[in-house]
Amino acid sequence: MPACVVTPEQTEGPYFVDEKLNRSDIRSDPADGSVKDGVPLQLTLRVLQIGNTGCMPRADAIVDIWHCDALGVYSDVTDPGFSTVGKKFLRGYQVTDANGTVQFTTNYPGWYQGRTVHIHFKVRTDAASVQSYKFTSQLYFDDSITDRVHTQTPYASKGQRKLKNAGDGIFQDGGEQMLLKLTKTSLGYAATFDIGLQIA
């Protein structure tokens, strides 16, 4: 039985774009079919509703994830260092099944100035309803695994990051609870994470 722990909410950040891209494999850019290089990451998220009687899987919730590529670049945004407007790589959503589960195939994220390595996610219970519940947070990685991944191509061309989890102000606010437990696969890594929500 999954642990009934309320997941800490964290900032959405400046790079959320509601692309409405229903897909499990988010590595490609639908604009031109190109696929982002990086170490593959299989991410399974389970959305659980915490009530008086314990944890119940939450079916039919919309789960978006988005993150930067191996070189620290997000798609479909304008930033001082880049403009990727019109690109849609490393973004997508899935709808939870009867077990509250969604699965994504993506890449291990790179890094950019001022943040530790992370993946953003957003859960919406019913986008069509006025009473829609929204929850936003971030997932993090073990520093030692990140350091190892980032010595590989294409990450290495950006150089080693200066900021680790402990130095990240957003991580300091509940990030320990949001660390992915990674397992090695033949191609890269896999992780399963339970998102516990108190939905009124």
Nearest to 168 by CA among 157, 158, 179, 153: 179
Query: What's the confidence (pLDDT) of residue 81?
Result: 86
Mean pLDDT of 143-168: 96
Per-residue tokens: 82: 């880049």
Cβ 173 vs Cβ 99: under 8 Å:
no
pLDDT for the residue 6: 84
Give me the pLDDT at residue 54, please. 83
Instruction: Determine the pLDDT at residue 36.
Output: 97
CATH of domain 40-197: 2.60.130.10
Q: What's the distance, Cα to Cα, between the start and end of the chain in Å?
A: 22
CA distance 164 to 134: 28
State the pTM of this model: 0.95
Q: Which residues pair with 189 in a beta bridge?
A: 41, 184
Asked whether residue 2 carries a pLDDT value surpassing 60, the answer given is no
The per-residue pLDDT for 51 is: 83
- The DSSP result for 122-171, as a single string, is EEES-TTSTT--EEEEEEE--HHHHHHHTTSTTGGGG---S--GGG-TTT
pLDDT in tens, 56-65: 999 999 999 9
Rounded to the nearest angstrom, the gap between the alpha carbon of residue 171 and the centroid of all alpha carbons in its chain is 14
User: Comparing 12-16, 116-120, 195-199, which segment has the lowest mean pLDDT?
Assistant: 195-199
Average pLDDT score over the chain: 93
pLDDT, tens only, 75-89: 999 998 899 999 999
